A and B are shown apart, each in its own frame.
Chain A
Amino acid sequence: MPSFSRILLGLFCLLVAILLLAPTLVVIPMSFNGNKSLAFPPVGFSWQWYENFFSNPDWTTSFSNSLIVALIVAVVATVIGTLAAFGVSRAAARTGGLLRALLITPMVVPGVVLAIGIYAVYLDTHLVGTVTGFVLAHTMLAIPFVLIAVQASLEVFDRRLETAASSLGAGRLTVFRTVTLPLILPGVLSGALFAFITSFDEIIVALFITSPYLKTLPVQIYTSITRDADPTVAAVGTLLFIATSLIIIAGLLLGMRRGRT
């Protein structure tokens, strides 16, 4: 009896895992399609969609735009979000709780409602299609992720270490630099990674505030999907998937090494 229900559970989990992985399993083979079609399974094999991605200015420009915006967002949101995390966890419990609830609202506000609001403001302030506009909007969207990541590591950080450092002769800034920051660094770095990905992958607000002069990669992908069945999208998806995997695996390995020592 128990083994039967275990087998049933195993089969069910396999189906759920397939559902979860299906898009990835489809996109990677598609990127090597020999034909210009989005039919699956792909026909033939070629690198042409990768070549197209690296040679077509539409793709390369939007990629570098996204990279620039996401890098700036990662830095700005990480600094602002980390400060906010300190504010939240060191304020009185009630104030901190309220502040936290306030700062994570961007996660629950429906994307399109936010997008039309930001679009309206940007039309008035001429921020549509500007790097500043993108950075501002994406920083707002990324702050909750940084806040959550940094707060998690602040929660396990032992505040008594700061008192100890102070008794040994370290001033406030030195305490932060030599004790607090090194110990919460994993949280700060994963916050930065989340911020980067949030910006790099953001599409809804981007669709509204984009302009022919400044397109980000998700916007380019979206227009490409709606305009024609261009397998370059699959190549881009695969490249980003590999890049993300490498960064995360590197991060995990680094974390494991820190954990060992």
Chain B
Amino acid sequence: MTATHDEGLRSAVDRSAFLSRFRPRGAVWLAAPAVLVLLVVLAYPLGIVVWRSFTDPAVGVDNYVWFFQSAVNRTVLQRTFVVAAWVTLVSLICAYPYAYAMTIVGKNVRLALILCVLVPFWLSGVVRTLAWVILLQDSGVINSILRGLGLSPVKLIRTLPGVVIGMTQVLLPFMILPIYSVMKGIDTRLLQAARSLGAKPWKAFLQIYVPLSLPGVYAGAIIVFILSLGFYITPALLGGPRSILLSSLVQNQVLSLLNWGRGGAMGVVLLVATFVLLALAAPLMRQKHTSSRREA
């Protein structure tokens, strides 16, 4: 037993010895400047936010008590999560078939589909939101089309559905790309194998393909949900008084009311929610899709 163990160790050591010269123990220090920047402009500012939430205007948890006792705040907090959930769901519904299509079409169509995902990034974020204002407003493009089709116009601007549509367009690529990258690696011969074993096409798809694509879905969903929670510009411009999200509330407390303590408390709630979600989702995202790839 020990002899074979030693051997494995020995050949591993032989292989790594080549690299040892270039793997100095101090390599970690190359990241020091980046860590320093993060300490100064990320950790320290966030520390101040946390600090003020407990000390401004008085030491204690008053700001948190205030936050959770106010019905308005609770509604906004709940709405923020509901909107994030809607954006994630709508993105997923749009992204899954789209990503699947990307894997089965020819080279040129695939290039076109990929371009459609990337082009939105080339338009400035604020300008993109402006475009949605134009598209969604009462006399906007969508309502013109509805009127042209003989349908009654709908109120979209300054409503939650409007906010969800705008946010979905911005976040959709973050859903499509991870799903696509996982789907690309799925060996479609597995589907043929399942069918040869007697599975109906839809059953084969649901039982074989969908489970293999789940790591991409998890990754996309968690990214979209977390980014949605912190969205600020799109909801601020597309939403109305009845569709305010937590970020706008934070901004209002700090810039308009100069109430750093309450704004800070709200920010901390948002921050904690984000990191708790990330921690919960981390195991899901770590799943690898190696089983199907080996044989390819």
Contact = CB atoms under 8 A, between A and B. Distances in A.
A20 B120 contact: yes
B94 A16 contact: yes
B59 interface: no
B270 A113 contact: yes
B257 interface: no
Interface string B26-51: 01111111110110111011111100
16 contacts: A10-B101, A12-B98, A13-B113, A24-B119, A26-B131, A86-B30, A103-B34, A106-B42, A108-B275, A110-B230, A111-B232, A116-B254, A116-B260, A201-B126, A218-B124, A225-B237
Interface string A109-139: 1111111111111000000000000001101
B159 to A, nearest CB: 18
A112 B247 contact: yes
- Using C-beta atoms within 8 Å of the partner chain, give the interface range for chain B: 35 or more
Nearest to B230: A110
Q: What are the 5 closest A-B residue pairs judged by CB atoms, nearest first?
A: A117-B45, A110-B230, A237-B127, A87-B31, A23-B131
Nearest to B247: A112
B34 A221 contact: no
Interface of A: 2, 9-10, 12-13, 16-17, 19-24, 26-27, 30, 38-41, 80-81, 83-84, 86-88, 90-91, 95-96, 99, 102-103, 105-106, 108-121, 136-137, 139-140, 143, 147, 159-160, 162-163, 166, 201, 203-204, 208, 217-218, 221-222, 225-226, 233-234, 236-237, 240-241, 244-245, 248
Given A112-B247, A121-B48, A147 B34 contact: yes
Given A112-B267, A120-B48, A136 B30 contact: no
A22 B135 contact: yes
Given A21-B120, A121-B44, 19 more contacts: A9-B101, A12-B98, A16-B95, A20-B117, A21-B116, A26-B141, A30-B131, A90-B24, A99-B31, A108-B275, A109-B271, A110-B267, A110-B271, A112-B230, A115-B251, A117-B46, A140-B42, A163-B22, A204-B232
A9 B97 contact: yes
A194 B275 CA distance: 25
Contact of A139 (B18, B37, B52, B267): B37
Q: Interface centre among B122, B264, B270, B274, by most A CB within 10 Å?
A: B122
B38 A240 contact: no
Given A20-B172, A237-B124, A143 B131 contact: no
A178 B45 CA distance: 40
Contacts of A240: 122-124, 127
A103 B35 contact: yes
B97 A80 contact: no
A114 B247 CA distance: 11
Nearest to A219: B126
A179 B85 CA distance: 47
Nearest to B29: A87
B257 to A, nearest CB: 12
B48 A117 contact: yes
Contacts of A86: 27, 30
B35 A102 contact: yes
Contacts of B255: 208
Contacts of A102: 35, 38
Contacts of B141: 26, 40-41
A110 B30 contact: no
Contacts of A221: 124, 126-127, 130
